[in-house]
Homo-oligomer: A and B are copies of this chain.
Amino acid sequence: MKMLEDKILQCGIVLPGNVLKVDSFLNHQLDVKLINELGKELYSSFLNDNITKILTVEASGIAIACAAAANFDVPVVFAKKGHHENVGNDVYTAEVFSFTKKKSYTVAVSKKFLSADDNVLIVDDFLATGEACFGLKKIVEEAGAKLAGVGIAVEKRFQGGGNTLRKEGVKLKSLAIIDSMTDDSIRFGVDD
């Protein structure tokens, strides 16, 4: 999606450790107009997939998940990180390893909000090694729900998570795919 690629080129900052900082528009400050366009684009990719629910994980997936959900007219469920007393105990959980923070955390979704009748679109801001996405996928499976697909704003394809999903036959739409990046260049790829 050209609008997103342009924004990444204009405002993204490459940091050591394969970090692409997009905190000025995607995950600390939010460019809501852009994010609403991302939501529309995800809708056009999955509009024939009978989505009943959008699943994301707090915090930075919430904005884009809501932007997509407004088009599908379905609820968003966001998985909570860590053990929240007020989520209750009747939850689906998965362990997720964060390479950025170098530790594992639990994601949890109340069983009330995912069922075998659901056809779920997982949405997130980033897909790198895919740990968060695989955690959400495990939760969808635990609930007996169907995974309709995965919609991502920025995929760092060179970190492998997206290709694993593709090999598994998961329908994946990444709005910007980064094949490589250095301090002074970002090379985008296309879905193949």
Contacts and interface: CB of A to CB of B under 8 A. Distances in A.
- Interface of chain A: mostly helix, strand, loop or mixed: mixed
Quick one: which of A25, A76, A100, A110 has the most chain B CB within 10 A? A76
A20 to B, nearest CB: 11
A28 B108 CA distance: 10
Given A35-B66, A58-B59, A70-B36, A76 B30 contact: yes
Contacts of A33: 70, 73
Contacts of A100: 85-86
Contacts of A63: 62-63, 66, 76
B66 A28 contact: no
Contact of A21 (B36, B86, B109): B86
Contacts of A73: 32-33
A31 interface: yes
Interface in A67-106: 67, 69-70, 73-78, 80, 85-87, 100-101
A58 B77 CA distance: 15
A44 interface: no
Interface of A: 19, 21, 23-25, 28-33, 35-36, 58-59, 62-63, 66-67, 69-70, 73-78, 80, 85-87, 100-101, 109-110, 112-113
Given A28-B78, A29-B77, 7 more contacts: A21-B86, A23-B87, A29-B75, A32-B66, A35-B66, A36-B70, A66-B66
15 contacts: A19-B86, A23-B110, A28-B78, A28-B80, A28-B110, A29-B77, A30-B66, A30-B77, A31-B75, A32-B66, A32-B73, A59-B80, A62-B66, A63-B76, A85-B101
